[in-house]
């Protein structure tokens, strides 16, 4: 099946620094990628939808300037957490969809655990 990778899988950073998380679709072209955040013992929360070549659509309550999303190619989307704070510590998961005419499955990455000290 299709594979979506995320890098890094684990990151620890100091408060005030920026962290970039990459999401790649390895064997298919992803027209749309989603970014989710999961808090402990809670469901995934959709942060933003990213379509290749256009601006990301952010969900209500998600700060655009805080969480910068770039979907520069059909196989890569990046999420940059700017000026990270301890409350940004979380598990971030991306997912990708290829061409909907050929399938209906959203493939998830393995997630990135961010710890801000």
Partner 1 sequence: DQQVKQNSPSLSVQEGRISILNCDYTNSMFDYFLWYKKYPAEGPTFLISISSIKDKNEDGRFTVFLNKSAKHLSLHIVPSQPGDSAVYFCAASLTYSGGGADGLTFGKGTHLIIQP
Q: Which is nearer to partner 1, 83 or 105 (by Cβ)?
A: 105
CA angle 30, 65, 11 (to 5 degrees): 70
Q: Note whether 11 binds partner 1 by CB under 8 A.
A: no
Partners of 80 in the β-ladder: 20, 68
Residue 51 in tokens: 């379509």
3-class state of residue 104 by DSSP: coil
Q: Note whether 4 and 26 are within 8 A (CB).
A: yes
Q: How far is CA 79 from the centre of its chain?
A: 5
Please select the residue that binds partner 1; options are 85, 110, 115, 117, rule is CB under 8 A.
Answer: 110
Q: Which is nearer to partner 1, 16 or 63 (by Cβ)?
A: 63
* Binding pattern for the stretch 21-60 against partner 1, x by CB under 8 A and - elsewhere: ----------xx-x-------xxx-x--x---------x-
Q: Which is nearer to partner 1, 83 or 102 (by Cβ)?
A: 102
């Amino acid at each position: 099946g299709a594979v979506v990778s995320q890098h890094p899988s684990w990151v620890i950073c100091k408060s005030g620094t920026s962290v970039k998380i990459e999401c790649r679709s390895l064997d298919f072209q992803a027209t749309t990628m989603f970014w989710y955040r999961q808090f402990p013992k809670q469901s995934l929360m959709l942060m933003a939808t990213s379509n290749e070549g256009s601006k990301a659509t952010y969900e209500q309550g998600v700060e655009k300037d805080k969480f910068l999303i770039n979907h520069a190619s059909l196989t890569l989307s990046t999420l940059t957490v700017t000026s990270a704070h301890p409350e940004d510590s979380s598990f971030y998961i991306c997912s990708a969809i290829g061409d909907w005419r050929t399938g209906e499955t959203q493939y998830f990455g393995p997630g990135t655990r961010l710890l801000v000290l």
